Structure 1
Amino acid sequence: MVYEFEGRTEKEAIDVAAAELGLARDEFDVEILETQSGGLFKKGKVRLRVHVHSNARPAPISEAAAAQAAGRPIPEPRYDREGRGVRRERGADSAGEPRGAASRQAAPSPEGADEFEAKILEFVKTTVEKMGYACEVSVLFREDKKLGVRLDSEHASILIGKKGKNLDALQLLVNVYAGRLGREDLRIVIDSENYRIRREEALVKLAYESAEKVRRTRGSLLLEPMNPFERRIIHTTLNDIVDVETKSEGEGLYKQVRVLWKGAKR
């Protein structure tokens, strides 16, 4: 898969790509498309193309998201390979925690990782509190190349932002900080109120509904602008539907996905 990103410097553009795609630096190659030098009153700009390695292709959509979109019973929540969060079960207890949450705690941290994790948690907490919002942060999950951070706050809806843009911005910042700590190989995933899995479920449902619509109309449908991670969900969901295809259109980070009936091109 190929994506395009921009940044003020090459490093910033690469950091944006890694954070948005949820990949480690060694899981994609970079091709510089354009470099503009900055001046006294002008910011520099680097535009690059990212080629994702074949062995780093996105995992299938989580069972919970696919089940809800298809109207089937939702399976026991878990983290998939991409490190997306556990969805809240309908049978949650009075405290709002899923049943069995204690048995799904984050795995023990590797030796020597405690100090790094403490710095990451402190960075997130300090950043949010400087924005004027009290919060608590904790480790949500640990994987080989991913670390999940849970953000709890009475102002979660504000911190998440419209379509998760505030959460994405905070996630980008913490990944840049992790790189400065020498952990460019590790991706930090921040979630709050299980937003990531809820957003995925909504996008899977949107993908199937869009496919049905273009089948009925024998035409195409252009969806709202999305970041690379969200577009990837649409592409992956509809990848195996033989008479429907998808393609990204537009420039910059937030492109649109067009869903079209294959016969529409003839």
Structure 2
Amino acid sequence: MSIVREYEGKTEKDAIDAAVEDLGLGREAFDVEILDSQRSGFLNMSKKVRVRVHLHDNIAVPEDAPAARPASVRQPVSSAASASAAPAAAAAGAEPENDFEHAICDFMRNLTAKMGTPMEPVIMYREPHKLALRLDGDHAGIIIGRKGKNLDALQVLVNVVSNRLAGSDFKVVLDTENYRGRREEQLIQLAERTADQVMNSRKSRLLEPMNPFERRIIHTALNNINDIGTKSEGEGLYKQVRIYHRAYEK
């Protein structure tokens, strides 16, 4: 069984450097999984980056290397995405393995550079017919855009390229600064809060327009509440979700 340890730092690089120093091994000896990305917390105080390192099976920690202090692991919010996490997912920070992955990473690298917001694509995980990329760099805010619409637009573009290279059944997912995960938590909280309002008022509520991925989070979050129903309304990519009381509206 491979050795797994966790480290913290002000930046992702600092956390990885701490792992290198603590283990007494080179960076190539382990894979890195990002647990918490750097972001502003309460009162804009910066939170530390937390990483989990997975040593390769053929690597042993030197006997004089100190044991890392274990870090507490935050339990993820239950959701459709977390429930269907891929068992074959690669550790974060994996390198491209084939011509297709190299082509997709090169496309995103060149595209963001031409936008004047250069970002470095890193493979987060692989699934059959799916590849997830994290864009690292100093322009995450611009890449994300208002309510993630820039990130969604970039994802559409990279999937056009992906479809030409690998066929329409292959999907590329983009993320940066753990935006997708943070957005998922926000949407689950919004869904539960709105459902409570509907239960109390018996009146339906219509949420803001959302992309298909976000709407799926809302539907799934409320799927097991007996008296609450959800349905999508509108046309185009960005539809609205209506949350209603089943006894008062169909």
Q: Please tell me the TM-score bracket, short chain as reference.
A: 0.5 to 0.7
Residue identity opposite 2:203 in structure 1: G
Counterpart of 2:189 in structure 1 is 205
1:216 aligns with 2:164: no
Using the alignment, how far apart are the partners of 1:128 and 1:146 within structure 2?
A: 21
Secondary structure in structure 2 of the residue aligned to 1:149: strand
Displacement of 1:146 after TM fit?
1.0
Q: 1:88 aligns with which of 36, 55, 67?
A: 36
Counterpart of 1:181 in structure 2 is 165
Counterpart of 2:114 in structure 1 is 130
Residue identity opposite 2:234 in structure 1: G
Displacement of 1:108 after TM fit?
7.0
Q: Percent identity?
A: 50
Residue identity opposite 2:106 in structure 1: E
Using the alignment, how far apart are the partners of 1:247 and 1:202 within structure 2?
A: 19
Residue identity opposite 1:100 in structure 2: R
Residue identity opposite 2:208 in structure 1: E
- Residues 94 and 123 in structure 2, CA contact (< 8 A), matched pair in contact too: no
Displacement of 1:253 after TM fit?
1.5
Using the alignment, how far apart are the partners of 1:185 and 1:107 within structure 2?
A: 24
Gaps of 5+ in 2: 1-32, 39-45, 56-89
Greater RCO (Cα-Cα under 8 Å, separation 6 or more): 1
Displacement of 1:95 after TM fit?
9.6
- Give CA deviations for 1:27-67 in whole Å, capped at 9, x if unaligned: xxxxxxxxxxxxxxxxxxxxxxxxxxxxxxxxxxxxxxxxx
Q: 1:105 aligns with which of 57, 71, 91?
A: 91
Distance 1:215 1:86, change over 3 A: farther
- Residues 95 and 122 in structure 2, CA contact (< 8 A), matched pair in contact too: no
Displacement of 1:127 after TM fit?
0.4
Distance 1:197 1:86, change over 3 A: farther
Q: Which runs of 4+ in 1 moved over 6 A?
A: 107-110
Displacement of 1:101 after TM fit?
4.3
Give the aligned length: 177
1:229 aligns with 2:177: no
Using the alignment, how far apart are the partners of 1:155 and 1:109 within structure 2?
A: 22
Displacement of 1:222 after TM fit?
0.8
- Give CA deviations for 1:157-215 in whole Å, capped at 9, x if unaligned: 11011111111111111111011123433211111000111111100000000000011
Using the alignment, how far apart are the partners of 2:171 and 2:227 within structure 1?
A: 36
- Residues 34 and 52 in structure 2, CA contact (< 8 A), matched pair in contact too: no
Using the alignment, how far apart are the partners of 1:160 and 1:192 within structure 2?
A: 7
Displacement of 1:247 after TM fit?
1.1
Displacement of 1:86 after TM fit?
6.3
Using the alignment, how far apart are the partners of 1:127 and 1:173 within structure 2?
A: 10
Secondary structure in structure 2 of the residue aligned to 1:264: coil
Q: 2:129 aligns with which of 119, 122, 145?
A: 145
Counterpart of 2:247 in structure 1 is 263
- Residues 225 and 255 in structure 1, CA contact (< 8 A), matched pair in contact too: yes
Secondary structure in structure 1 of the residue aligned to 2:247: helix
RMSD (Å) for aligned C-alpha atoms? 2.6
